[in-house]
Amino acid sequence: MKVISFLLFFLQSTAFASDLELALNWKPEPEFGGFYLANLKGLDAKKGIQLKIVPGGAGQPVAQMLANGKVPLGIVSADEVLMARDRGADLVAIFAVYQTSPVGLMTHEEKGFKSLEDFFKSDSTLAIQKGMPAAVFMERKYGYGKVKVVPYQGGVGGFIRDKNFAQQCFVTSEPLLAKKQGAKPKTFLVSESGFDPYVEVVAAKGEFVRKNPKLIQDLVEIFQAGWAAYQEDFEETNKVMNGLNPAMTLEVFNESAKVQKPFVQPVGSKIGTMKLERWQKFADQLFEMKLISKKAKAQEAFVSKF
């Protein structure tokens, strides 16, 4: 029996030897829709690439896994790329899902906050991942004052239970869930206060990118095609993703895909491209916030010649 199972394992691993793993930093949700569609419709296979999408979860250290060579491709945020580079790990971003950051704070409408500034004058409880650059930025800009900062657990349970509760969110996701459970969420985008990084990028090791220019070119084209198609028609892909992540209803999947459309759609360029000014501004902000120890040359942190 042992021999047979070993042989099976061996065959399997050789059969998938050409698989290219893409590690997600969260469960399958519309924020990854274009990647799943490309895989489903065989857009990758057409270019002779077999993508294998690996879902993640809370606390998945994708940046470290990339740096350590455990996966070739992974979804991280631009600040993770810059911080990893600052610590000596050569990560490079090749594709950005969101042109505008959907990161925001979700509050209860009943509290009547008019702006983030307004919110930070309150005595609310704010669940946020401490140390996250957006959190550091807001703390520096507004000061926490009487706001009680508590650890962010994921989900919207705390928000539903407590009217005085606010939390970090992707405006494309948590507010929809909260609404479903009867709350009236009001969200504020962090980007509006001047902090707007590329929050969801595909990254790889610099060495891998430089050695395989053709492969990277192909990948970017696959992702662009996948996302363009997903923007047009997400329902079929959502059904498949819903099967992988039944915690969210199909209805919320579809709503979320609708809400995120403008965040994905760039003005005057192709889907997924990134601009140097934004990268550089963001890198300078990180340096100012002391999250990276030296000034970064942003042009080295991403490739976007496509």
Estimate the share of the chain in helix, then strand, then coil, as percent rounded to the nearest 5. 45, 15, 35
> Which residues inside 235-264 make contact with another protein, applying CB under 8 A?
none
CA-wise closest residue to 179 among 196, 156, 201, 202 = 156
Q: Contacting another protein (CB under 8 A), which of 12, 153, 181, 249?
A: 153
* Closer residue to another protein (CB): 68 or 299: 68
Number of Cβ atoms within 10 Å of the Cβ of 16: 11
| Shortest separation between residue 219's beta carbon and another protein, angstroms | 25
Burial of 12 (0-12, 13-18, 19+ CB in 10 A): exposed
- 251 neighbors 39 (Cβ within 8 angstroms): no
Residues in 1-60 at the binding interface with another protein, rule: CB under 8 A: 59
Q: Which is nearer to another protein, 178 or 219 (CB)?
A: 178
CB of 60 to another protein, least distance (A): 11
Measured CA to CA, the distance from residue 115 to residue 33 in angstroms comes to 31
Strand pairing class (103-108; 185-189) = antiparallel
Q: Which is nearer to another protein, 79 or 196 (CB)?
A: 79
Gap between the Cα atoms of 122 and 103, Å rounded:
20
Beta bridge partners of 53: 22
Nearest CA-CA partner of 147 in 179, 177, 111: 111
55, 72, 158, 206: which one contacts another protein (CB under 8 A)?
Answer: 158
Q: Residues binding another protein: what is the number (CB under 8 A)?
A: 27
Residue number with CB closer to another protein (46 or 70): 70
- Mark the segment that binds another protein (CB under 8 A) among 150-158, 234-242, 275-283, 297-305: 150-158
Q: According to the binding rule CB under 8 A, does residue 206 interact with another protein?
A: no
The residue within the footprint of another protein, chosen from 157, 194, 213, 243 (CB under 8 A), is 157
> Which one of the spans 32-40, 101-109, 143-151, 248-256 is the region binding another protein (CB under 8 A)?
143-151
Confirm or reject binding of residue 161 to another protein (CB under 8 A): yes
**Segment 82 to 121, residues that bind another protein, using CB under 8 A:** 83-84, 87-89
* 260 contacts: CB under 8 Å, gap ≥ 6: 30, 31, 98, 102, 172
The span of 12-20, 145-153, 185-193, 242-250 binding another protein (CB under 8 A) equals 145-153
Cβ nearer to another protein, comparing 54 with 291: 291
Q: What is the DSSP letter of 246?
A: T
Is 225 within 8 Å of 38 (Cβ atoms)?
A: yes
- Least distance CB 90 / another protein (angstroms): 10
- b/e map of 130-150 (b: 16 or more CB within 10 Å)? eebbbbbbbbeebeeeebeee
Measured from the CB of residue 63, what is the shortest distance to another protein in angstroms?
A: 6
Query: How far apart are CB 82 and another protein at their closest, in Å?
Result: 10
Near another protein by CB under 8 A: residue from 129, 212, 217, 280: 129
Distance between first and last Cα of the chain: 51
- Binding residue (CB under 8 A) for another protein from 150, 240, 250, 259: 150
Output b/e per residue, 175-201; b: 16+ Cβ within 10 A: bbbbeeeebebbbbbbbebebbbbbbb
Tell me which residues touch another protein (CB under 8 A). Answer: 59, 61, 63-64, 67-68, 80, 83-84, 87-89, 125, 129-133, 148-151, 153, 157-158, 161, 291
